[in-house]
Amino acid sequence: MVEMHLRTRLRRVPLVFLVFRLATLALEASPLAELEDSLQALYRENHDAVVRVKVALRATDEEGKERASLTVLSGFFIDEQGTVLTNALPEGDASRIYIEKDGRQYLALKLGTDRRTNISIIQTAKPPTSYKSVSLADAIEEAPLGSLAFAITSPLEFAPTPKFGLVSGRESQFSEIEFAFTYTRISIPSGPAEGGAPVFDRKGRLLGVTVATLPEVNSSYIVPAKPLRRIVKKLREQGVYKHADTHLRLEEKAMLLDAGNEVVIRSVEPGSQADKIGIKAGDVILSIDGQPAISLNQVRDQIFFSEQETFIELSLRRGDEPIDFALLLEPSD
């Protein structure tokens, strides 16, 4: 009896092995294997651009004693002059800014910071002799929801690390936090020291840079390419980004009978230009500079790409009456 069971088991072993081998061969020839190969190639092509950014600060505590703190971020080279893009550097007296690459440290200087969008650019004093840079000019404007997203971060003290997820949303507001424009949400969580990491599509084109984490849903927000290029350009020129502001609080409401959404003015800041010219809470935005106001994201994007001290044309609906305004854009608080 024992001998019969043993013979049966021995006959089954080749069959199990054959099934396993066939499954392995099928996987190796599948689109999934091709995707794996392309992601590995993407990492090899871009990991050399990713660095660790460290900022040492000096501060005085309540007792008058000097103390030091260290902030660690991810970052990446964006040109051949050694410019590094990262998250906004902490406020304070920075005693030292430097990047780490391949186990070596390189001193750097701050070129500009925009705290509202959490973006900084720094200049490496003497860049490494060899490194890869990521082109902002070639970055993709917008990837469809469900597209693959591939981040390369510099977490803690680890080497550049690949992370994989999906493009999962686009929002210009999270809870009560209003963004300057529409951020892209990806299903890649951002942990300690991973802010400032580049995110690519499956073809290796830059999608944006990580600026905020959403640990509750294992996700993060990135600043997408189009506004990122504008921010970096302004930081190079001015050291700061001067945001234009309507001083209006907006919200998006669903219309009746499933007719879409409308953008409604929730409140107007007292004493602002909008208040002075008579814009009121409850007014509905029909168009901005001739473009129909189809969503809150679109309205915020249009305002972001406008300049301070210029006018925008607002077509509003108050009750059943249309009313037009020319609103002067003021500096953001």
Can you give the residue ranges of every domain in the chain? 50-124, 148-238, 244-331
- Residue 89 DSSP code: P
The domain made up of 244-331 has a fold known as Pdz3 Domain (2.30.42)
50-124 and 148-238 share one fold:
yes
Under 8 Å between Cβ of 86 and 72: no
Task: Report the alpha-carbon distance of residue 52 to residue 197 in Å, rounded.
Answer: 9
pLDDT value of residue 67? 75
pLDDT value of residue 257? 64
CA 46, 47, 48, 51 dihedral sign is: positive
pLDDT value of residue 72? 95
Tokens of 148: 């693959």
Judged on CB neighbours under 10 Å (0-12, 13-18, 19+), 278 is exposed
Length of the chain measured in residues:
333
SS3 273: helix
> Low-confidence residues of the chain, pLDDT below 50?
1-10
Taking each helix axis from N to C end, the angle separating 2-28 and 31-46, rounded to the nearest 10 degrees, works out to 60
pLDDT in tens, 56-79: 987 776 777 777 788 999 999 999
**Radius of gyration (Cα) for the chain, nearest Å?**
26
Under 8 Å between Cβ of 139 and 201: no
Q: How many CA atoms lie within 13 A of 304 on its CB side?
A: 23
The CATH number of the structural domain formed by 50-124 is 2.40.10.10
User: The pTM is what?
Assistant: 0.86
> Which homologous superfamily is 148-238 in?
Trypsin-like serine proteases (2.40.10.10)
pLDDT value of residue 95? 75
